[in-house]
A and B are shown apart, each in its own frame.
Chain A
Amino acid sequence: MFFHIFINKLKILLKNKSMIFWTLFFPLALATFFYLAFSNIDSNEKFTEIDIAIVDNEQFQNNVDFKHLMASLSNEENIFNTDYVNIDVAKKLLEDNRIKGYILVEDEINVYIKENGISQTIIKSVIDNFYQINSAVNHIFIEKQEITNIILADLNQNYFNDISNDKISSTVTYFYTLIGMVCLYGGFFGVNALNESESNLSKRAARLNVSPIHKLKFLLISLLVAFIIQYMETLILLSYVVYILKVDFGNQILPIIILTANGTIAGISFGAIVGLSNKGSENTKTGILVSVTMLLSFLAGMMIGDIKYLIEKNIPLLAKINPVNMITDALYSLYYYNNLDKYFSNLFSLIIFSFIMITVSYIILRRKKYDSI
């Protein structure tokens, strides 16, 4: 009997095209879009040479120190990519957004820009430096009174030692939220399982309940099939993201496998609650499930990464009870943290979440009898 129900349930669910689309193909498509759209975001944040122009006039040629400085910044330190042009060309370049700004040496040095930004700030800062060092040398001259006594120290010494963690890509969390969303999409199967076994929810369930099979047995088999299908789908998505899109998930495979299995259980049990929550059609319940999951994914940072951080810092309770956030946060901690504390606390929350959902479902489900439906 077990195999009979098991195999048939498996066949029915696998043939449900729209359900398989939403739980497997839609997330795969989203992962691909994320990959295509985000592949350059991290490198965009990195510093690249700033395009500038210098008006090559007589004053610039006469200001030997400044000329040297600009040459060294352009050629040796790779801070600027400099064009030496006349004033009209410089204006045109700025207008067409080909350069961030141009420098015109007159009685003093002027910087022409048309937007605010970090590049413009760096241009200004570099030229400030020129004035500031000149001023420092003047001050030392006042102190020492004689130019030959001045000791010129190395002015390009670096006082900073970089101990950063290289793994700090800002886009990985989008993929983590996606995994969280897919786990919760297990709810599709949870809704279906309940609808097919609760006599007041569908005609097929009513028929099934008068058959000589134990209801709990049928329900448990349905949920088992749901788990198997959804977990396989999650693993397919995970493998696609890790091995084909090459998104970094850290190196700890076992914790990820355990986490996603728990996530899937959480999703299915959440679906069960949605399935039991009202007497609407399966479509209505799926609608509720999709909107709630979207909202939870949004709060976990799927559309705007900063949202997760903002919520964790300002409304920590909301972050703690959101299952998509628990999964995202656990994956994030595996990627970014060196210890497993945060991972375990999230895994534990996820287990509690599933436990509550399952207990509530059981309480609603048990000992139901109908005189008429």
Chain B
Amino acid sequence: MIVFSNYLKILKQYTAFVVLYVVIFTIFSIIFTIYSNDNPTFAVQKPNIAIINNEDTKLVKSFLDYIKTTSNIVEMDSEDLKDALFYRKVDLILTFPPNFTNDFLNNDNPEINIQRVPDSSRSIYAIMYLNRYLNIASLYNSNNVTMDKLIEYIELDLKLETNIVFNNKNTTLLSSANYFYNFSSYSILAISVSVIGMMMSSFKLKTIQRRNMISPMSYSKQNNSLFLGNLLVTMGVWLLFTILGICFFRQAIFSANGVLFMINSLVFSITASSMGFFIGNVINNKEAISSIVNVVALGSSFICGAFVPQEILGESVLKIAKFFPTYWFVKGNNEIVILSKLSLDKMEPICINIIMTLLFALLFFMLNKIILKFRLKEN
């Protein structure tokens, strides 16, 4: 008990550190939740279009009206547009030539200048429907339909729409929860590894360990107390993020998928702790531990898909990522989201990922055993 209470005493020093990470994480989670606002019904995506135009003819007016219904119009001066395009606030900038209407009606190579992010899906889509308007207008024009009729007809034509059957199972909240849990891997890893690593390095300092070894308390009993302390930290960290998860995504968490999220993150917390235990045992220098934690936590989060989704990462990056537990944790979360019915064959990929994460815990546990034996002999 004396070892355990001492553990708790040292643990108190790290409260501020944990609070800092939790605050940073909470801020990021809020940003993520605000960003991911998907609709439960089908909604047409509207590209953001900026227009630079000086003409005021019937044709241009009708064309601009069409753009207004199909797109979000961005109004800025041209210098600001350049920055807006870089930051993807505008998908397409249209600059009408001075005599567009005349050129168009005479079929004299009418061209609107565009600026966009080259080949972006949103700009390609916008060009598609803008060309459509002009092509239909040109069809009427070459058949000598008058301007008024042309505008009247084209408005009728473009109102026709396809029937969409939208089978959304309301996965929006789940995918936000997915982001949340993927991102939490960074905080869980950083907190568990640093706190447990620092704790272990305090106890395993050569002079302190030698002093402890001559105490009447058996070596295994001391280690068990330390283990208990680490377990407490692990459960604490897991509980913290589960509570945060419930605060943000109550509905998603209280479902079959939510329970799987919790199980997955519990397994990951255990793995993170065993990693901290290992690092603390190998390295006794506290400054070195904080450097390693930063590199390992940030690095694995970046390449394993905690920050940038796995489907966007390159194949070679993912190959390296497989050597980190975060990869399997994140992959597990991604599988949990697409799980719609609880059936055995659908559960298989999730179980495999959870088992892989657990194997890492086992690996660190074994390495620890070997190192502790080695250390004992050395002392």
| A interface with B by C-beta (< 8 Å) | 17-18, 21-22, 25-26, 29-30, 32-34, 36-41, 44-47, 94-95, 97, 108-122, 124-129, 131-133, 135-137, 139-140, 143-144, 149-166, 168, 170, 303-306, 308-309, 312, 332, 336-337
Of A38, A121, A162, A170, most B-chain CB atoms within 10 Å: A121
Contact of A109 among B117, B122, B124, B163 (CB under 8 A): B163
Complex CA–CA separation, A161 to B109 (angstroms): 11
Given contacts A157-B138, A158-B131, contact A118 B122 (CB under 8 A): yes
Q: Please tell me if B5 contacts chain A, counting CB pairs below 8 Å.
A: no
Is there contact, CB below 8 Å, between B111 and A161?
A: yes
A67 to B299, CA, bound (A): 50
5 additional contacts (CB under 8 A) given A118-B125, A168-B118: A110-B164, A139-B145, A140-B145, A155-B139, A308-B87
Kindly provide the distance from the CB of A107 to the nearest chain B CB, expressed in whole angstroms: 10
Contacting pair A128 B161 (CB below 8 A): yes
**Interface mask (B107-143 → A, CB under 8 Å = 1, otherwise 0):** 0001111111111111011011111101110111011
Please state if B136 and A26 are interface contacts (CB–CB under 8 Å): no
Query: Once the chains bind, are B167 and A113 in contact (CB under 8 Å)?
Result: yes
Chain A residues with Cβ below 8 Å from B295 are 26, 29
Chain B residues with CB under 8 A of A140: 139-140, 143, 145
Nearest to A291 among chain B residues (CB) is B20
Q: Once bound together, how far apart are the Cα atoms of A144 and B89, in whole Å?
A: 45
Task: Judge if B227 is at the interface, Cβ distance under 8 Å.
Answer: no
- Let me know if B374 is at the binding interface, CB within 8 A: no
Q: How far is B39's CA from A21's CA once the two chains are assembled, in angstroms?
A: 46
Residues of B within 8 A of A (CB): 28, 31, 38-39, 42-45, 82-89, 110-122, 124-125, 127-132, 134-136, 138-140, 142-143, 145, 149, 153-154, 156-158, 160-169, 171, 287-288, 291, 294-295, 298-299, 302-303, 307-308, 312-314, 317, 320, 338, 340
Determine if A160 and B114 form an interchain contact, defined as CB atoms under 8 angstroms apart: yes
Nearest residue (CB) in A for B120 is A45
Given contacts A112-B167, A132-B157, A136-B140, contact A165 B115 (CB under 8 A): yes
Q: How far is the CB of B91 from chain A (nearest CB, A)?
A: 10
The contact sample of 25 A-B pairs, CB cut-off 8 A, is: A29-B299, A30-B298, A37-B307, A37-B308, A39-B317, A46-B121, A110-B164, A113-B42, A113-B167, A118-B122, A124-B161, A125-B129, A131-B161, A132-B136, A136-B136, A136-B139, A153-B138, A154-B135, A156-B135, A157-B135, A158-B131, A162-B114, A168-B118, A336-B82, A336-B86
Shortest distance between the CB of A85 and any CB in chain B (Å): 17
A132 touches B44 (CB 8 A): no
Q: Are B298 and A139 closer than 8 Å at their CB atoms?
A: no
Do A132 and B158 touch across chains, with their CB atoms under 8 A apart? yes
B308→A164 contact, CB < 8 A: no
Contacts of A25 in B (CB 8 A): 291
In contact, A117 and B45 (Cβ under 8 angstroms)? yes
Please state if B121 and A118 are interface contacts (CB–CB under 8 Å): yes
On chain A, the residues within 8 Å of B132 by CB distance are 129, 132
Closest 3 CB pairs of A and B: A33-B302, A309-B87, A127-B162
Structural contact, B111 and A114, CB atoms closer than 8 A = no
Q: Which residues of B contact A22 (CB under 8 A)?
A: 291
A125 pairs with B128, CB closer than 8 A: yes
Q: Of the candidates B130, B149, B313, B320, which one forms a contact with A40 in the assembled complex, judged by CB atoms under 8 Å apart?
A: B313
Contacts A26-B295, A110-B165 known; A159 to B111 CB distance under 8 Å?
yes
Indicate if the CB atoms of B312 and A40 lie closer than 8 Å: yes
Which A residues are CB-close (under 8 A) to B89? Answer: 309
Partner of B117, one of A36, A45, A114, A117: A45
**B-chain residues with CB within 8 Å of residue A97 when the two chains form the complex:** 338
- Give the complex CA separation of A93 and B360 in angstroms: 34
A81 to chain B, nearest CB (A): 14
Closest chain B residue to A107, Cβ basis: B163
A46 partner residues in chain B, CB cutoff 8 A: 118-121
Complex contacts, B291 vs chain A, CB 8 Å = 18, 21-22, 25-26
Given A40-B313, A118-B45, A309-B87, does the pair A164, B160 have CB atoms closer than 8 Å? no
Residue of B nearest to A165 (CB): B115
Minimum distance in angstroms from A51 CB to a CB of chain B: 14
Whether B139 and A153, one on each chain, are in contact in the complex, defined by CB atoms closer than 8 angstroms, is yes
CB-based nearest B residue for A161: B111
Residues of chain B within 8 A of A109, CB atoms compared = 162-163
Closest to B309 in A: A44
A151 in contact with B119 (CB, 8 Å):
no
Contacts of A45 in B (CB 8 A): 117, 120-121
- Assembly CA distance A312 to B291 (angstroms): 33
From residue A67, how far is it (CB to closest CB) to chain B in Å? 16
Q: Which residues from B are CB-within-8-Å of A165?
A: 115
Chain B residues with CB under 8 A of A18 = 287-288, 291
Cβ contacts under 8 Å, A44 to chain B: 312
- A18→B292 CA distance, assembly (Å): 11
Give every chain B residue within 8 A of A337 (Cβ-Cβ).
Answer: 82
What residues of chain B lie closer than 8 Å to A135, measured between beta carbons? 156-157, 160
Given A18-B287, A26-B291, A132-B160, is A116 in contact with B42 using a C-beta cutoff of 8 Å?
A: yes
The answer to whether A128 and B294 touch (CB under 8 A), given A37-B308, A112-B167, is no
**Min CB–CB distance B27 → chain A (angstroms):** 10
Instruction: Report the bound CA distance from A115 to B165 in whole Å.
Output: 11
Q: A247 to chain B: closest CB distance in Å?
A: 16
Distance A205 CA – B56 CA, assembled complex (angstroms): 75
Residue of A nearest to B42 (CB): A116
Q: What separation, in Å, do the CA atoms of A229 and B117 have in the docked complex?
A: 40
Question: Complex: how many Å from CA A25 to CA B88?
Answer: 32
Say yes or no: A139 contacts B153, CB within 8 Å. yes
Contact for B303 among A37, A153, A166, CB less than 8 A:
A37
Inter-chain CA distance A312–B86, complex, in Å, is 13
A90 CB, min distance to chain B CBs, angstroms: 12
Q: Is B136 in contact with A133, judged by CB distance below 8 angstroms? A: yes
Please state if B163 and A108 are interface contacts (CB–CB under 8 Å).
yes
A216 nearest CB across to chain B (Å): 32
**In the complex the two chains form, is B121's CB within 8 Å of A160's CB?**
no
Asked whether, in the complex, the Cβ of B121 is within 8 Å of the Cβ of A122, the reply is yes
On chain B, the residues within 8 Å of A312 by CB distance are 83
A151 to B115, CA, bound (A): 33
Q: Decide if B125 touches A121 in the complex (CB within 8 Å).
A: yes
Whether B118 lies near A111 (C-beta < 8 A) is no
